């Protein structure tokens, strides 16, 4: 047995100071050669299959070659082979990556393919199913997870079998792990293998997105600062604390199987990027890296508390921290989101997947009494960068799915005013180590009658407009308790109903039966929104209604001729659409896609819907 000690696990704010928790030692089991393949992750996009098989450590005399085969006409046909990697993590344990990466061009996405990964000259065999692209399904289901804490006092050592069994019952089309799959800061390999042991049964047969967050790459919080070197495991000076070899090994294990990056240019220290998009079942997902380019707060803004990233003073001026030079997503990712928002090929609806939320979504951190006015680790800061990101997302009527916060919420975001942007769903932690509560001091404004006082409109600690629709707060006495059932652990489900363009959020506790007739979700769930709710900005004018012949559900794009900006792009539902705009002027309307676009220039806005129409004739059936 290879044995190592968990030397640095969890850094959190307790009673106003940094505290380190140690956990038990972890074994990497010396499994039999036939079991040496632990699990495999895959996605398929644009007829390209990408798969990463994660192996247990190999012995010196064992073969380093792996093969991927599919079952075709009752025969196994090898479609790819790969050298098993032995890249160094650069940690004291001298771990290596032990991954096999397969890429198959011209992949047939129209049918299911049984597969097997073979290693050790045929001794080790791992089998699963590569699913067809579910383009004809009316509803696409995503199961979403975050915060895979293994800390024993808070339930992290409890098996994940309840989640696995519920996910099997739900049979989602996509799995999304938004970060903190691994909480150990120096031994990713061992805990990544543990992650595969826990969730491999559902991952082997389902397309899966895994993106690393701060704990995965070995630090308490992460402001990646385009790859600079950080001098602290707390991360607030910006950059990466662990060696670049460690960060690259983590990302190789967790993200290589994703579709190819939009722009693969590395950042500082040669660290790669993985932001990209995946279209599955006609739902287009943008996968972004919230923190890779984000600026660290230390030395950039006035210190407002005992830590550079925590603001305790409720009377500070929020504008004082929205300083020049503070970066959130960075220009590269904003350009990506802009291009992705305009590309609707093969897509009916859009969603952004990321690590965390674009607002401050908790008032109390760590324990009852630990009130924090603003957390610079959230994507509520910097506000200018936050607003730019939300603006790109709403141009595509995109919903946002994330994790990280240890607290499940549904928020509707505002840029200039409340509710003028889209909805976000932050899913609950698998096991909740570090608790947070949405606990405003005043009732929310504009609440729906009968809703809890903590719902409604607020300004977060950065002055951002947010509307809370639901918050799965832990128990308050005593400080969340010691069991998963009181610490608001669980997982999320998002359902995309294509015929109606509805999006439904579900939030499930641990240790329940999701098919049970009396099983309850967390209060406030489920909640259903319309796709168009993700661009909630109130119109100040309209363009003539579009009556479209020849095609159903075409793409419509509106361009503001005063600055040539794309106002929005949307695959509409049906054959008629009344475009809303936000100031009077002239606009370009584009209807259709690819080589079959009808363009109408210099269309003047009108004050209201007054019966004017534009007849649009598109080529039949495209």
Q: What is the pLDDT of residues 173-217, one digit of tens each?
A: 999 999 999 999 999 999 999 999 999 999 999 999 999 999 999
| 393 Cβ neighbours under 8 A, 6+ residues apart | 337, 341, 352, 400, 421, 422, 534
CA gap 471, 434 in Å, rounded: 16
pLDDT at 62: 97
- Mean model confidence pLDDT for the chain: 94
Please tell me the distance from the alpha carbon of residue 464 to that of residue 96, in angstroms, as a whole number.
44
Whether 341 has a pLDDT exceeding 80, the answer reads yes
Which pLDDT score is estimated for 2?
38
Give alpha helix (H) positions in 88-242. Answer: 161-170, 188-203
pLDDT category of residue 240 using cuts at 50, 70 and 90: very high
d(CA 342, CA 601): 18
Burial of 197 (0-12, 13-18, 19+ CB in 10 A): middle
Q: How far apart are CA 9 and CA 22, in angstroms?
A: 6
Given a cut of 70, whether residue 25 has pLDDT beyond it is no
Give 265: exposed, middle or buried? Use CB within 10 Å, 0-12, 13-18, 19+: exposed
Condensed to tens digits (0 to 9), the pLDDT of residues 593-612 reads 998 999 999 999 999 888 79
What is the model's pLDDT at position 433?
A: 85
For residue 621, the model assigns a pLDDT of 59
Helix (H) or strand (E) holding 250: helix 244-255
| Per-residue pLDDT at 193 | 97
The pTM assigned to this predicted structure is 0.96
Q: Which of 236, 216, 215, 210 is nearest to 225 (CA)?
A: 236
> Percent of the chain scored above 70 by pLDDT?
95
Instruction: Give me the pLDDT at residue 152, please.
Output: 80
Question: In this structure, what token pair is assigned to residue 583?
Answer: 């100031």
Where do you find CATH 2.60.40 in the chain? Answer: 541-617
| pLDDT value at residue 622 | 52
> What is the rounded CA–CA span in Å between residue 110 and residue 132?
5
User: Which of helix, strand or coil describes residue 389?
Assistant: helix
Instruction: Please determine, for residue 16, whether its predicted confidence score (pLDDT) is greater than 50.
Output: no
What percent of the chain shows pLDDT beyond 90? 89
pLDDT in tens, 552-589: 999 999 999 999 999 999 999 999 999 999 999 999 99
What pLDDT was estimated at residue 3? 36
**Beta strands at 349-353 and 399-402: parallel, antiparallel or unpaired:** parallel
Beta strands in 531-595 (DSSP E): 541-542, 545-549, 555-560, 565-571, 576-577, 580-581, 586-593
Domain with CATH 3.60.21.70 in the chain: 139-534
pLDDT in tens, 431-449: 998 999 999 999 999 999 9
Residue 4 is predicted with a pLDDT of 33
CB 505 within 8 A of CB 157: no
Average pLDDT (215-237) is: 97
Residue 154 has pLDDT above 80, yes or no: no
Give how far Cα 176 sits from Cα of 17, 250, 276, 459, 529, Å: 33, 17, 14, 29, 20
Average pLDDT over residues 503-522: 97
CATH of region 541-617? 2.60.40
Per-residue pLDDT, averaged over 279-285, amounts to 98
359-418, pLDDT tens digit by residue? 999 999 999 989 999 999 999 999 999 999 999 999 999 999 999 999 999 999 999 999
Residue pair 547/611 in contact by the 8 Å Cβ criterion: no
2-4 and 26-28 as β-strands: parallel, antiparallel, unpaired? Answer: antiparallel
Domain 139-534 CATH (choose: 3.40.50.150, 3.60.21.70, 3.90.79.10, 3.40.50.10490): 3.60.21.70
């Amino acid at each position: 047995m290879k044995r190592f000690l968990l030397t640095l696990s969890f850094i959190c704010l307790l009673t106003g100071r940094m505290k380190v928790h140690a956990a038990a030692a972890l074994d990497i089991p010396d499994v039999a050669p036939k079991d040496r393949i632990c699990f495999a992750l895959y996605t398929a996009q644009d007829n390209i299959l990408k798969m990463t098989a994660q192996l247990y450590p190999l012995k010196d005399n064992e073969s380093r070659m792996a093969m991927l085969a599919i079952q075709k006409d009752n025969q196994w046909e090898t479609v790819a082979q790969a050298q098993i990697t032995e890249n160094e993590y650069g940690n004291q344990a001298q771990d290596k990556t032990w991954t096999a990466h397969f890429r198959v061009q011209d992949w047939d996405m129209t049918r299911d393919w049984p597969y097997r990964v073979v290693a050790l000259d045929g001794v080790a065999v791992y089998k699963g199913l590569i699913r067809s692209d579910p383009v004809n399904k009316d509803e696409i289901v995503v199961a979403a997870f975050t915060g895979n804490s293994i800390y024993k006092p808070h339930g992290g050592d409890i098996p994940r079998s309840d989640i696995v069994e519920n996910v099997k019952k739900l049979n989602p089309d996509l799995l999304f792990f938004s970060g903190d799959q691994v909480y150990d800061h120096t031994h990713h390999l061992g805990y990544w293998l543990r992650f595969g042991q826990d969730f491999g049964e559902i991952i082997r047969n389902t397309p899966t997105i895994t993106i690393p967050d701060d704990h995965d790459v070995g630090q308490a919080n992460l402001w990646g600062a385009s790859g600079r070197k950080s001098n602290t495991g707390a991360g607030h000076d910006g950059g990466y604390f662990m060696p670049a070899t460690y960060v690259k090994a983590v990302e190789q294990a967790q993200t290589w199987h994703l579709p190819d990056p939009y722009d693969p240019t590395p950042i500082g220290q040669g660290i790669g990027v993985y932001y990209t998009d995946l279209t599955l079942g006609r739902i287009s997902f943008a996968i972004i890296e919230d923190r890779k380019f984000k600026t660290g707060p230390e030395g950039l803004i006035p210190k407002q508390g005992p830590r550079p990233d925590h603001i305790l003073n409720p009377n500070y001026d929020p504008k004082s921290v929205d300083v020049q030079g503070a970066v959130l997503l960075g220009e590269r990712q904003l350009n990506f989101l802009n291009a992705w928002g305009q590309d609707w090929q093969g897509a009916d609806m859009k969603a952004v997947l990321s690590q965390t939320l674009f607002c401050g979504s908790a008032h109390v951190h760590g324990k009852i009494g630990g009130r924090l006015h603003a957390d610079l680790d959230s994507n509520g800061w910097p506000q200018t960068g936050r607003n730019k990101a939300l603006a790109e997302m709403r141009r595509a009527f995109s919903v946002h799915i994330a994790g990280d916060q240890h607290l499940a919420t549904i928020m509707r975001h505002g840029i200039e005013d409340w509710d003028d942007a889209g909805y976000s769903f932050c899913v609950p932690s698998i096991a909740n180590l570090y608790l947070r509560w949405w606990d405003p001091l005043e009732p929310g404004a504009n609440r729906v009658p009968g809703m809890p006082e903590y719902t409604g409109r607020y300004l977060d600690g950065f002055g951002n407009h947010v509307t809370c629709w639901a918050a799965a707060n832990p128990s308050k006495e005593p400080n969340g308790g010691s069991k998963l059932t009181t610490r608001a652990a669980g997982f999320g489900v998002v359902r995309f109903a294509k015929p109606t363009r509805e999006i439904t959020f579900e939030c499930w506790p641990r240790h329940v039966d999701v098919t049970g007739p009396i099983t309850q979700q967390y209060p406030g769930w489920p909640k259903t929104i319309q796709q168009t709710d993700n661009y909630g900005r109130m119109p100040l004018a309209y363009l003539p209604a579009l009556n479209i012949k020849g095609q159903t559900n075409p793409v419509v794009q509106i361009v503001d001729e005063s600055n040539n900006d794309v106002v929005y792009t949307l695959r509409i539902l049906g054959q008629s659409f009344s475009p809303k705009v936000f100031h009077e002027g002239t606009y370009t309307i584009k209807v259709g896609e690819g080589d079959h676009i009808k363009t109408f220039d210099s269309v003047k806005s009108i004050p209201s819907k007054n019966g004017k129409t534009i007849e649009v004739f598109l080529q039949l059936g495209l």
